[in-house]
Amino acid sequence: MDAAWAEAEQPVVGIIERACTDDSDDAGTRLLRVDNGLEGLVSDHGGTIARGTLEDVLETDPSLMVAAGASTLSAIARADPDAPVLPVGDIVGLETVNRDVLPDALAVALAGDATIRQRSVLGVDVDDGTTRDGNNTPARALFDVTLVTDEPARISEYGVSSRGESVATFRADGVVVATPAGSRGYASAVDAPQLSSAVDAVAVTPIAPFVMQTCQWVLPEDELTLTVERNDTPVRLVVDDRPAETVPVDTAVTIAADGALSTLSVPDLESE
């Protein structure tokens, strides 16, 4: 549900320069490490800027955050902050701000003229335990959750259940579960249905299925279970492109809505 974002007194604007200390540079995060006049703009609104890693910024209790790149947005979703985020740059599936108009967009937000939009986040558990990715972070997905064979073109058999009832079993290289935001990214390459952010649902799609004609499903975002029914090679759980763990045969992977990421939307701004 959309809601107006209230102007904050003495706002703290968190600029996420990278998701964590050991993140490699990319064009998205680099654009936020340049002097683009944001300090003066925020000062004019009685606020301050906090720059650094996501962890550094969250320690300052920011009023709002500015972040670029899908991996950084995923990291913010895993951290589950109270502050909304203004996404910058090209992030498929999310409404973002062009880097050229970032100062104008931030000025709109600081004036209280931005809208908060809630983006579904999925929590992932394996056999009722809290699943963690390779960096020991609780597995939460802003875009998608995937089961896929460790070796390319090695088919396994997967099962999908929703609210305790079997939906299908099929042979494929893997299966992807995508949020509305994720349904426009990698999932779209495997012909997943594209979902509106207004629906509380996920798109579930086999990856390289064994049969030419197969189904894709739009299912409720609660009580969804994936299982590996049979495999000839290990099957990996991947959450927003981050490997989590190997999933044995007959092990239940439970996926359900786990809060939301608040993003800020501003009126269309023309770049110069």
pTM score of the predicted model = 0.88
Mean pLDDT of 149-153: 76
Residue type, 48: T
Q: Do the beta carbons of residue 115 and residue 95 sit within 8 Å? A: no
Mean pLDDT, the chain, integer: 86
Q: What is the pLDDT of residue 247?
A: 92
Report the Cα 142 to chain-centroid distance in Å.
2
Per-residue pLDDT tens digits for 72-101: 999 999 999 999 999 999 899 999 998 888
Residue 113 corresponds to which amino acid? Answer: D
Q: Is the pLDDT of residue 160 over 90?
A: yes
The DSSP secondary structure of 4-54, one letter per residue, reads EPPPPSS-EEEEEEESSTTPPP-HHHHTTSS--SHHHHHHHTT-EEEEEEH
| Secondary structure of residue 67 in the 3-state scheme | strand
Q: Give the pLDDT confidence of 243-262 residue by residue, as tens digits.
A: 888 999 999 999 999 999 99
In this structure, whether the domain defined by 3-120+261-265 belongs to CATH 3.30.70.270 is answered with no
Q: Is the pLDDT of residue 226 over 70?
A: yes
* CATH number of the 121-259 domain: 2.60.200.30
Three-state secondary structure of 213-240: CCCCEEEECCCEEEEEEECCCCEEEEEC
d(CA 93, CA 190): 15
pLDDT at 8 over 80: no
Predicted pLDDT of residue 150: 81
Where exactly are the structural domains of the chain?
A: 3-120+261-265, 121-259
156 burial (CB, 10 Å; 0-12 / 13-18 / 19+) is buried
- Of the pLDDT bands very low, low, confident and very high (cuts 50, 70, 90), residue 129 is low
